[in-house]
Amino acid sequence: MKNTKFIALYKYKYTWIISGLLAGLILDLIIYFLFLSSIEEPPISDILITDNENVRNISNNTEIQIPLSHEASSFDFFEELPLFEVDTIPKETIPDGDTMIDQQLPSRYVLQVASFNNRYDSERLREELFLTGLESHIETNFINDEIYYRVLIGPNDNRDELNIIRRNLLNQDIAGIIKTISNE
């Protein structure tokens, strides 16, 4: 004869899940009441209310001495830092007429489209730019006994125009660099 009570318990699969959850809940409640309830918080009436001296010091811009921990008190800069003073330059000593900021000449810009080691590649790119309606020129530079041919568009006084050209060239997979050139 089969044990029908034992088989009946396995018939309902949710009974084991519910019994496991209940066992966990009971264990959590035991832990809570044994360990966590023993931690006591100080009553609100025991909180010390300090006088308003610190608030008065802050409102009067007077210095407040904050006690330092043992580790922080071993450093010297806590005492030395307040002793340092920074001299400020009064505004009257800077003459307004000598400033060159307002008198700067407008900048000129050039767009460097590419730089090549041989003249043929630079001429080919220059022709491609000419076919798209852009005038360019080639600048020859000697760097470390090597010749570089830079394809340049400009000079131009308007950086925004060169940025528009650079974006159009980026659509053709040609990356350029805008450089500021001297006005001398």
Residue 138 lies in a domain: yes
pLDDT at 141: 86
Residue 87 lies in a domain: no
Residue 48 lies in a domain: no
* Domain range for 11: 4-36
Residue 143 lies in a domain: yes
Query: Are 111 and 152 contacting, i.e. CB atoms less than 8 angstroms apart?
Result: yes
pLDDT at 27: 92
Residue 97 lies in a domain: no
pLDDT tens, position by position, for the chain (184 residues)?
555 655 555 666 788 888 899 999 999 998 888 877 666 665 555 555 555 555 555 555 555 555 555 555 566 666 666 666 666 766 665 555 555 554 556 688 888 888 888 888 889 988 888 888 888 888 888 888 888 898 888 788 888 888 888 888 888 888 888 888 876 5
pLDDT at 133: 86
pTM over 0.75: no
Q: How many domains does the chain have?
A: 2
CA torsion sign for 144, 148, 154, 159 is: negative
Residue 21 lies in a domain: yes
Sheet holding 177-181, edge to edge: 137-143, 146-156, 108-116, 177-181
Residue 26 lies in a domain: yes
CATH of the domain at 118: 3.30.70.1070
pLDDT at 158: 83
